[in-house]
Amino acid sequence: MLRPLPIFSAAGAISALSGGGPVRVEGVGPREHSRGDVRFAEMLERMGAGIAMGENWIEAGAGAAAHSGGKLRAIDADFNHIPDAAMTIAVAALFADGASVLRNIGSWRVKETDRIAAMAKELRKLGAAVEEGADFLRIAPPATGLAAGASIDTYDDHRMAMCFSLAALGGVARAHQRSAVREQDLSRVTSTRWRGSLHEIGDD
């Protein structure tokens, strides 16, 4: 079973923007989803993702408007209930149609690293304009696509590695000069199949 679910849900939505996706995660169904998974899916739907669930699967891609427009919708929301999964939303905001605001994420400051500061710094490397507050991030995506050739640091934080790997699904990996996520092996702490699964999604 592929985990964590929020990462793969976002992967399906982002990949679909550039003609890939959707992504189906099998072996999970409504009864197995945690409340955090459900709330994350709701947030992703607000951004224009298409979410479908079966008895033992969940599938994520771009909704009709996002698929035709090639962008997700910007979001302004309180993420106190899903602070870790909100890191995935921060990277998804790179593909939105305007500035997104992630509020009430002060707990990021006391994780494996200061995730607010780290996320702001690395998002800027990809061309985003980021405003950093004590417990929020405002992320405006680059107007002309993600910057290529960036070297993303992960700060010995497995979630940073996994979240920024999603940027490759939105086209930056197909740019002339690829961006690189350092220390990506850290993602094994969360999902031993992440690297292989990411390549499978990118090849669709």
Q: Is the pLDDT higher at 59 or at 105? A: 105
Rounded Cα gap, residues 44 and 25, in angstroms: 16
Residues 6 or more apart whose Cβ sits within 8 Å of residue 7: 88, 162, 163, 166, 191, 194
Which residue type is seen at 132? E
Catalogue the active-site residues: 84
Residue 43 has pLDDT above 80, yes or no: yes
Residues 6 or more apart whose Cβ sits within 8 Å of residue 89: 10, 40, 43, 44, 47, 75, 79, 100, 102
The first and second tokens of residue 104, run together, are: 């009430």
Map tokens 């427009």 to a residue: 69
Handedness of CA 70, 35, 88, 109 (dihedral sign): positive
Residue 27 has pLDDT above 60, yes or no: yes
Residue 188 has pLDDT above 70, yes or no: no
pLDDT band at 181; cut points 50, 70, 90: low
pTM of the model: 0.81
Contact present, 18 and 171 (Cβ < 8 Å)? yes
The first and second tokens of residue 117, run together, are: 């500061």
Contact present, 96 and 141 (Cβ < 8 Å)? yes
What is the predicted pLDDT for the residue at 96?
94
Average pLDDT, the chain: 78
Rounded Cα gap, residues 59 and 106, in angstroms: 30
Residue 38 has pLDDT above 90, yes or no: no
**CA 154 centroid distance within chain:** 14
